[in-house]
Structure 1
Amino acid sequence: MTFLTKQYENRFVLYDREVFADPDLIGFTSEAWAQHDAITGFAEGRGTTFFVNYYELELALRHYHRGGLIARWSADRYLWTGLNSNRAWRELHLLQTLRERNLPVPRPVAAQVIRHGLLYTADIMTRRIPGAKAVGQLLASEELDTGHWIAMGSMIRRFHSQGVYHADLNANNILLDSGGRFYLIDFDRGVIRTPRRGWQQRNLQRLHRSLTKLQGAQDTFHFSEQNWQDLLTGYNQL
């Protein structure tokens, strides 16, 4: 991956030149891709992630949205503190670092930041993981066997062992591909820090709350405390 930056007045684009030969042609809105009939699907989360086709490459496009109470006043604008410190730039470079460490994350390909005075909006684009589905979505229709839960725990431990903190570790940010491999996505506000049991356990507790919340909100959701113990078995094996 080789990233270049191009500025268009108040708009900045960071892109992988191995994927995009011309940054002028990169669309960062669903409307831009819809004009070319290139939207192949979408996934709902805090916002909508659109899956788009770019010369036979499947890409995932996500606009940054705020969560919590502050979203009532500002749904998608953040305080501008510099180009290198905005959320899209940080997440893209973090994903690049994690891939260099052979951790299972999507490949970043582009990001956009638009400055609006003291504020900015942002978007990020990654390669879509072929055949992957969110664990939260899968468990609503099927069970995962013991081996899957152990593998999921082992995958999370790989990140924690290298000091990788995921700010929103929940069931819908863990993907399982058709080959049985787990991935982590959405590293907004993620960082690399000193490995410590405290934040690692809080990270796991966040995932557990996510699973139990989904379980309580749906008539059918295949999750049990035995599944959680299997996940912890995988986590503690390393």
Structure 2
Amino acid sequence: MKVYTIKYYFKSNRGQLVPINYRSNLTSFLHNKILKNDPEIHNDVSLYSISDLFNSTKTVDNKLEFNNGAIWLIRTPSVEVFKTIYLNSKNVISSDFGFGLTLDDVSYSVDDFQDKIYDISLNTSPVFLGNNRDSEVRDHITYKHGIELTSTHLKRILKNKASKLGVNLDDRDFDLYFDENKNINVKPVKYKNILNFTTKGSLKFKGDGEVLSLIYGLGLGLSTGCGFGFCFNIKL
């Protein structure tokens, strides 16, 4: 299965600072300017994942400075979603993102994972697994809930998204869990003034190339269309 990565280049005004909590501005740019609130793509299940802005970033007074411009990635295993987002993105070059950032160029690349068994570590942006349904209070699931519960949720969410692409996954065909032998922690992330408790750390994956392609394109956990669970470059 192929995975499509769209790469955005933003020009910046030197010295212009971007607020730490800019993520809602990023999703607004995506939904309003690129997707134009297309209900086929912007719905309750995101068949794509997005990264945060990056590129030689430094923090100044609790804000971000992108003196060399900013880079942003959108990734999907769906050729239909890719075509829509990419073509729409080409039409909004020169659009203003805000905070001194202007979209300057858009490109894409394609990855195709081999048909073999992979046994690797995954690094992602903070993974959000939502609320623990077995709890009577607001209790966001993190690695502290244990491998069994978190692995079940990671797999369930991935299977649900895969089914939207016509792919039926079986829990028994792959392993996916947080690696508690490496640095791992609970990270509170505020999005639109709502505090979400996420897990930041490495994950272990063992399975075939098709499942890995889905993870790489769709991300892990919930709200991947808001920057959570974005899978960074996989070292094979």
TM range (shorter): under 0.3
TM-score (norm 2): 0.27
Q: Which has the higher strand share?
A: 2
Please, what TM-score do these two structures have when normalized by structure 1? 0.26
